[in-house]
Amino acid sequence: MDGGHLHILWTNANPVVLDKMVIMYAVNSLVHGWWKRVTVIIWGETARLTAEDPEVTERIQLAREAGVEFSACISCARELGVEDILTGIGLELIPWGPPLTELIKSGAPLLTV
């Protein structure tokens, strides 16, 4: 795994945590060159928050425009009934279990929120 690629595992569905930690750090990481790439992994209840809160969706879109990548756990999205909504807003949905396991095993940069 590339040491210049930070993954942020976002599991806390508090919108303030998204805004004041996840988005703030992810965008600033790219703007200031702290990381070459930043991918936010949407996992669990954050999938429903992303699908159902227009302000959250807007914040994610602005971060995407700044270069932050977002990818959601397809199993979570299916179980929470938001797969179509997340796909409709252009998010990648994949089974994140195996790639997350590889990230952890490889010691790649991973921030869990």
Reported as half-sphere exposure (CB side, CA atoms, 13 A), residue 54 has a value of 0
Determine contact, residues 26/40, Cβ cutoff 8 Å. yes
Residues 6+ apart with CB under 8 A from 40: 7, 8, 10, 22, 26, 63, 68, 69, 70, 71
The pLDDT assigned to 1 comes to 45
Q: How far apart (Å, rounded) are the C-alpha atoms in residues 56 and 68?
A: 14
Amino acid identity at 79: E
Q: How far apart (Å, rounded) are the C-alpha atoms in residues 77 and 70?
A: 14
Q: What is the pLDDT along the chain (113 residues), one digit of tens a residue?
A: 456 999 999 999 999 999 999 999 999 999 999 999 999 999 999 999 999 999 999 999 999 999 999 999 999 999 999 999 999 999 999 999 999 999 999 999 999 99
Catalogue all structural domains in the chain, each as residue range(s) with its CATH number.
5-112 (3.40.1260.10)
